[in-house]
Chain A
Amino acid sequence: MIRIEPREPSALTNVAVPVGAAVISLGLAAVPLALAGADILAAFALMWGGVFGSLFAFTETLTRATPLILTGLAAAVAFRARLWNIGGEGQLYLGALAAVAIGSGAVAGPAWVLLPLVMVAGALAGAAALVLPAWLKTRFGADEVVTTLLLNFVILLFVQMMLEGPLQDPMGMGWPQSAPVVEEATLPQLLDRMRLHAGLLVGLAAAVILHGVMTRTTWGLRMRAVGENAPAARHAGIPVTRTLLWVAVLSGALAGLAGVGEVAGLKGYLTADLSPGYGYAGIVVAMLARLSPLGVVLAALFVAAVFVGADTMSRAIGVSSYLADLVVATSLLTVLVGGFVARYRVVRVRTGEARQ
């Protein structure tokens, strides 16, 4: 007879579990690689080279990590308070839409006015996209998992509608894309001739600030209390509904900023295929980071490296780059199981015979 009983996770497991999950999920990639008939070692070498092979390769990984840091933080903040925000993808798109609505020539001004304005607008748009489902949850009890998921589809269609309507680039030869973001609203590049942009600094700053807020402030404590036990938090006098709505504002704003960075820092204009699922990948990032804001930065780097490495490998030897999605999905499930190993132990219970 065996029984499962809880134990205190040690400090080491907080690091060992995500690292182990990352290593195991990469190792498991050998299975699909073998099934695809590829030379496994060569494929891994190509992936490594695609990430660390040159300064350009590495900055590409950092560029790819930038939106993932922000969507990862968005998921981490919300999940801490047990607000299941699966709508990061939609919030990202709404943030990007607000950025081009203001930053593509509709408003003129110097960079020190226009750039903050674009970022605030994108953050507010992202926040609005999550406050609605959060309100539906607190007011009507409508499950926010389903509403945020469904809103992703609604928002993407809305973005397409805008890109074929009021926000379409008049010079775009009829393509469904926005006019380019004006220079004063563009996030500066960090290195010459590289695509890396100041959105990375926004993400890093957000991670540090959130770490401080979550560990050092009353508000952070309230947020975690609501997540751990909402009835007890309410009993202790914490305004649960208000806390949840503010968490929604913060989480949605972070995802919205990810969208701002992609249009104002990287692409320069908005199309309906701006994000290859950064909102969903942000959930994996947050879980790999075990919901720690600083951990999100490292987890985002890992996920970005998997995507960039798989792209390079795919171009070279023709194995589908969906391999990256496989690795990322496996890492999510592995870190989940790892968390279980850290939190519980299996004990043998005596059933008459001698104890083992």
Chain B
Amino acid sequence: MIEILEILANPNFWAATIRIATPLVFGVLGALLCERAGVLNLGIEGIFTAGAMAGWMAAWLGAGLWGGVLVAAVAGGLFGLLHAVLTVPLGLSQHVSGLGVTLLATSVAYFGYRTALPDVSSPPRIEPFPPLDVPLLSELPFFGPALFQHTALTWLALGMVVVVWWVMTRTPLGLAIRAVGDNPDAVDAQGLSVYGLRIGAVMAGSALMAVGGAFLTMAAFDAFFFGMVNGRGWICIALVIFASWRPWKALFGALLFGAFDAFQVRLQTAFGEEVPGQLFLMTPYILSIIALVVAARRADYPRALLAPWFKGQR
């Protein structure tokens, strides 16, 4: 009991929560954009990997940190375009296409890494995004190290929550995206392009996912490892259902997940002697499954999710 209180009273725990949540915020927002437009994007796991690899590689080659983030976003957008072309105008199975994009993006990232760096045993490192000390606030006891010493990408993630929320609820574009995921016939009748809206939303969402991946190699760590995404993409697909496709709830879900994950790591150090470490490592995945089961009952899926739509056919 004392151990648990000690964990919660330590600002490092809260800082870790936010650090773990950051890539998930990008991923859940990306999945949310795609699904709100009616397209399930199971390419997410591979797009995370491609973003992690492309962003890091660009920075390592001298494009600068923000140049790397941009490269990651473009790579994500391109894989998103592939998924969107297959699933929107061609109307192919979103499940199969998404898994195909994950396999393709992952193998492109791994093949590219191995081809560029054939002989390295320890991966080369970059100078990652530094923590930004918010003036004055970062000096505060407890709250300073917990909340106000994060990298620029964490602030970007928070900014993207606001942007996605604002676009989706306050702009005609957001209304159109939501409508195209609920009732594409109505959008078509308005003279808007169903294909254009869906392809654009999937590309933007995929770019966000890739930036989430870039956070891993450019802020959380400073190098690219095989298997480093480790199911984070799939967890985002579960979290977006938990968040009922709403941006603020997505932020909340990612933070809640980050807190559990940071907590289990600390429990592991406290109780690692008596309990096998794998039991702790399992908890994030099991929690995601539980969250999915709990949310599934009241889940209000976008009505046209998974349903292909062809112009001129009702």
Contact = CB atoms under 8 A, between A and B. Distances in A.
29 contacts: A84-B95, A140-B297, A143-B241, A143-B292, A145-B95, A146-B234, A146-B237, A146-B241, A147-B293, A150-B231, A150-B286, A151-B289, A152-B231, A154-B286, A165-B276, A283-B96, A283-B99, A284-B103, A319-B115, A325-B103, A325-B106, A325-B111, A330-B104, A333-B82, A333-B86, A333-B97, A333-B101, A336-B97, A349-B312
B189 interface: no
Interface in B269-307: 276, 278-279, 281-282, 285-286, 288-289, 292-293, 296-297, 299
Given A140-B293, A145-B95, A332-B100, A150 B238 contact: yes
A323 B107 CA distance: 8
B164 interface: no
Interface in A263-295: 280, 283-284, 287
A180 B86 CA distance: 47
Contact of B86 (A145, A320, A336): A336
Please give me the 4 A-B residue pairs with the lowest Cβ-Cβ distance, nearest first.
A325-B107, A320-B114, A329-B103, A161-B278
A55 B310 CA distance: 51
A110 interface: no
Contacts of A84: 95
B191 interface: no
Interface string A224-240: 00000000000000000
Interface in A302-350: 318-320, 322-323, 325-326, 328-330, 332-333, 336-337, 339-340, 349
Interface string B249-285: 0000000000000000000000000001011011001
Contacts of B169: none
B110 A325 contact: yes
Given A325-B106, A337-B92, A36 B115 contact: yes
A149 interface: yes
Contacts of A158: 278, 282
A326 B296 contact: no
B110 A320 contact: yes
A72 to B, nearest CB: 14
Interface string B219-254: 000000000001100110110010000000000000
Contacts of A318: 118
What is the predominant secondary structure among interface residues of chain A facing chain B? Answer: helix
Contacts of A340: 90-92
Contacts of A140: 293, 296-297
A150 B297 contact: no
Interface string A248-270: 00000000000000000000000
A166 to B, nearest CB: 10
A150 B288 contact: yes
Contacts of B297: 140-141
A337 B278 contact: no
Interface of A: 3-5, 32, 35-36, 84, 86, 136, 140-143, 145-147, 149-154, 157-158, 160-161, 164-165, 280, 283-284, 287, 318-320, 322-323, 325-326, 328-330, 332-333, 336-337, 339-340, 349
A158 B106 CA distance: 25
A280 B96 CA distance: 12
Given A150-B238, A165-B276, A326-B107, A320 B115 contact: yes
Contacts of B95: 84, 145
Contacts of B158: none
Nearest to B233: A149
B110 A145 contact: no
A135 to B, nearest CB: 10
B75 to A, nearest CB: 15
A280 B42 CA distance: 13
A35 B293 contact: no
Nearest to B85: A337
Contacts of A329: 100, 103-104, 106-107
A322 B110 contact: yes
Nearest to B42: A145
B10 interface: no
A88 to B, nearest CB: 12
Given A157-B282, A332-B100, A337-B92, A32 B231 contact: no
A47 to B, nearest CB: 15
A86 B230 CA distance: 15
Nearest to A149: B234
Interface in B71-101: 82, 86, 90-93, 95-97, 99-101
B118 to A, nearest CB: 6
Nearest to B111: A322
Nearest to B115: A36
Contacts of B108: 326
Contact of A154 (B42, B97, B282): B282
Nearest to A38: B115
B290 to A, nearest CB: 10
